Amino acid sequence: MAQHPAAAPIGRGGRRKSLERSETLAGFLFVSPMLLGVFVLVLLPIVATFVLSFADWNFVAGWDGIDWIGFDNFRKLLDDSLFIRSVRNNLIFLLAVPVYMIISMVLAVLIDRYVYMKGYFKVAYFMPYISNIVAVAVVWQVLFHPSYGPINQTLKALGMSDPPKWIADPHFALASIMMITVWISIGFNLIVYIAGLQSIPRDLYEAADIDGASGWTKFVRITVPLLSPTSFFLLVTGIISTFKVFDIIAVLTQGGPIGSTSMMVWYLYDQAFTNLKIGYASSVAVVLFVFVFLITLGQWAAQKKWVNY
Amino acid sequence: MYAITRLRLGKTVVTVIMLALSVLFLLPFVWMLVTSFKTENEVFVYPIQWIPKHWNAVANYKEVWFGRYPFYLYYWNSLKISIATTLVSCTVSSLAAYGFSKVRFKAGKWLFFIVLATYMVPGQAILVPQFILYRNIGLFDSHIGLIILGSFSVLGTFMLRQFFMGVSNEFIESAKIDGAGHFRAFWSVALPLVRPGVATYAILRFIWTWNDYQNPLIFLRTDRLYTIPLAMQKFTSMSGEFYSLIMAAAVSAIVPLLIVFIIGQKNVIEGIALGGVKG
């Protein structure tokens, strides 16, 4: 059998083995800092979260104060009306995702093709996303001020005698926060959509032009379907980020008024760091983890079927 | 000719409409800036005074920067933490990214899969154990602790790995034939080639760390260790109704980001589009 010189092993087998070994050693050295960090700061804690979710424990009691209570925490969660409300608020909050996706997609198409000064628009719509969320939240808090805020003053000037109290009103608080979230999220979605648009071959549009297709037809028949991988990606990240909403709640409403803006992560934080119920908070964390895990699994499953590559 | 004129007209009309719309995104910032220059009495005067009648800018900013919650201190803290986190995170992530893309070892694939899988874990689901860990090993209420917490980014490793995969293996091989080990190949061949990628990630990491509110809230306790977002919030709850001061603080919190963003705009937008990443 004529062996190709290039395919021949370098020297004897022993040397090849030692080469392999040094390659493995190098590999481990390169990745070890990252592995160590991930192990200590992520893997260990997630295991601990699961373990602690079966305990009744608070910070003050010390290690001896741990009481193992099986699934009691989870049973209690099902009867905890504020927790149920938080989950429901999270689900309602999901409605913001398609809203900002649609606005972003339309804006992206317009910016990509139909305007002058593209650079300006990218920066302008991106401002809220890049800004410090605490600062942004505080500004909105003042803008939404029920009696003196510029928004309500304007509404009153326009003849509305009794404008909503926005974040101070249990019926409007969640919607107000969703509005701010839409406002913040458009920048990110827009940028990703513009990148997606640039990967659509131009000749598709040229062919459609020859066939005399209208702008709307081109949008519905070419742009939307060919953007589906981008939309899918944004949908998944949007859903996951909805389950992680915390900053804006912590700064603006602290879950209030009367629980109307409590969300899962806020509830977790409140239980752990205000009420010091570590075990109970951990069971909320497990529920949160399961939600995100299921969405990710769903993403893997759906990616193959649904997305038009 | 007619078609082209029509096209231009259409484009102009759309541009004008979009300009009007972009006001919605900029106006809150303009309001914030203008308010930070006003005296407290004039903050809520309606119709809104877009140019302050009485300028109180110096006094407002002086109070924010050197008052009871001195922002110069929090600036320094935020700057220190953001720069250190960015440096450490870039180092850790680019080493790992090289290891996962350019070193051929059997365990590599599996280890990469494990690292990537941890990306699914929402940060908040592990806050409590992290908190307990930090209390027990003495990293609680320290800047070092925060820096460590932000330095092991799965996202950064994944992003940089994409860039390293774009480096041709021939470059690495030829460096190794010349007698260089993997570290030399990494340092003097691969890293210079992926510099734009590292820059992109560095800018994003800086912005994310600067903006981070949750970790400082949970892992810092002492006032003088606060970062800008945390100080911003404490300042707001302390100043209560002094909205001109609060807005001066908000402007102070946002300006450095704007500078970083404007300088690195191309990198930021590319990075976000490329990885489709989210802080």
Distance (Å, rounded) from C-alpha B26 to C-alpha B14? 18
**ipTM of this complex:** 0.86
pLDDT of residue B277 exceeding 80, the answer is: no
For chain B, say whether A134 makes contact (Cβ under 8 Å).
yes
Domains of chain A, start order = 5-52 (no CATH), 94-262 (1.10.3720.10)
pLDDT in tens, A178-191: 999 999 999 889 98
Residue B226: CB atoms within 10 A of its CB come to 23
Tokens of residue B13, six digits: 């009309």
Nearest chain B CA: its distance from A244 CA (Å): 7
- Inter-chain contact B31–A150, Cβ cutoff 8 Å? yes
**Those residues with Cβ within 8 angstroms of residue B268's Cβ, 6 or more apart along the chain or in another chain:** A130, B200, B203, B204, B207, B261
* CA nearest to A122 within chain B: B269
The confidence band for B234, taking pLDDT boundaries of 50, 70 and 90, is confident
- Contacts with B236 from chain A: Cβ below 8 Å: 138
Q: Which ranges of chain A have pLDDT less than 70?
A: 1-15, 305-309
- Inter-chain contact A33–B229, Cβ cutoff 8 Å? no
CA atoms within 13 A on the CB side of B237: 11
Which of A149, A157, A289 minimises the CB distance to B122?
A289
Helix (H) or strand (E) holding A233: helix A228-243
The confidence band for B274, taking pLDDT boundaries of 50, 70 and 90, is low
Q: Is A198:A281 a contact under the CB 8 Å cutoff?
A: no
pLDDT of residue B48 exceeding 60, the answer is: yes
Domains of chain B, start order = 58-275 (1.10.3720.10)
Tokens of residue A46, six digits: 């997630």
* Mean pLDDT score of chain B: 87
pLDDT in tens, B123-173: 899 999 999 999 999 999 999 999 999 999 998 998 899 889 888 888 888
For chain B, say whether A243 makes contact (Cβ under 8 Å).
yes
- Inter-chain contact A38–B154, Cβ cutoff 8 Å? yes
pLDDT computed for residue A1 by the predictor: 38
pLDDT in tens, A277-289: 999 999 999 999 9
Report the residue of A20, A41, A197, A274 to disrupt the B interface, i.e. the one with the largest count of B CBs within 10 Å: A41
pLDDT of residue B179 exceeding 80, the answer is: no
Residue B42: CB atoms within 10 A of its CB come to 16
pLDDT computed for residue B279 by the predictor: 40
CA distances from A124 to A107, A198, B63, B149, B261 (A): 12, 20, 30, 32, 12
**Those residues with Cβ within 8 angstroms of residue A117's Cβ, 6 or more apart along the chain or in another chain:** B15
- Inter-chain contact A48–B22, Cβ cutoff 8 Å? no
- Contacts with B253 from chain A: Cβ below 8 Å: 132, 134-135
3-class secondary-structure state, position A55: strand
pLDDT computed for residue A126 by the predictor: 86
A 35-74 residues with CB < 8 A to B: 35, 37-38, 40-46, 48-49, 52
